[in-house]
Amino acid sequence: MAAPELSSRYPRARAYVKSLQQGLDSFPECRARGEVFDDVRLRFPEIGRDPMLPGVITGFFKGEYMNRWMPEVVGQTVNLMIRDVSLPTDDALFKWSYETSSRLFRDSPFRVLMKLVSPTLLVMGAAQRWSALHAGTTLVAGKVERTEDGSATSGLLRFPGGLFPELFLRALAPAFQAAVENARARNVTVVLRRSSSTDAEYRTTWR
């Protein structure tokens, strides 16, 4: 018996899942730690009470992936679902992305590490920190450059074609900003310089 599809109540999430060759079962090698998406489950529990959700989505909202690895596709789907029904604009999603990233680094086991390292050391170790939370995708950090206004670096995120929706790639910029700010950096800016179906390049500056 085929798994139920997402209803038209979730147009972005539905379109994303339909774009994937195996739907919610796509990219099994790509995983994320449940902590990455915990705020979705904890702050938007009403979504999980929809009786027509696919079982894997219902399981997410029931906490089946707490403190363990989960399918990245499921995380991307629930992220789009909150934009569909709970957050009125893309800017509201970006604001929420910044806030949830701040909470992740403030309240998780990473908080002590974040407070001990400098912003430069943080971005130099960005690839390792990404790999601690995501599997099957890679973040490559460039050299840190000294500029008249402080410091700058670029990062390249690589992933299987179609895994990350454009909206998620844009929302990563404020999430990365929050991470660098948690390392006591000032005047942080993170810009998505370009993106494609398989990669995205970010530019980060700070003082």
Give residue-wise pLDDT tens across range 175-197. 999 988 888 889 999 999 999 99
- The band of 25, judged by pLDDT with boundaries at 50, 70 and 90, is very high
Written as one letter, the residue type at 193 is R
Please tell me the distance from the alpha carbon of residue 82 to that of residue 86, in angstroms, as a whole number.
5
List strand residue ranges (DSSP E) for 78-174, in order: 134-135, 138-141, 145-147, 150-158
The reported pTM is 0.91
- Report the pLDDT averaged over residues 199-207: 95
Question: What domains are there in the chain, each with its CATH number?
Answer: 11-85 (no CATH), 90-206 (3.30.1380)
Tens digits of residue pLDDT in 70-110: 999 999 999 999 999 999 999 999 999 999 988 877 766 55
Please tell me the distance from the alpha carbon of residue 98 to that of residue 94, in angstroms, as a whole number.
6
pLDDT of residue 118: 64
pLDDT of residue 56: 97
Q: How far is CA 107 from CA 35, 98, 110, 113, 178, in A?
A: 10, 14, 8, 12, 13
For residue 53, what are its two tokens? 């959700």
- The band of 1, judged by pLDDT with boundaries at 50, 70 and 90, is very low
Angle formed by the axes of helices 72-85 and 166-181, nearest 10°: 100
pLDDT of residue 177: 94
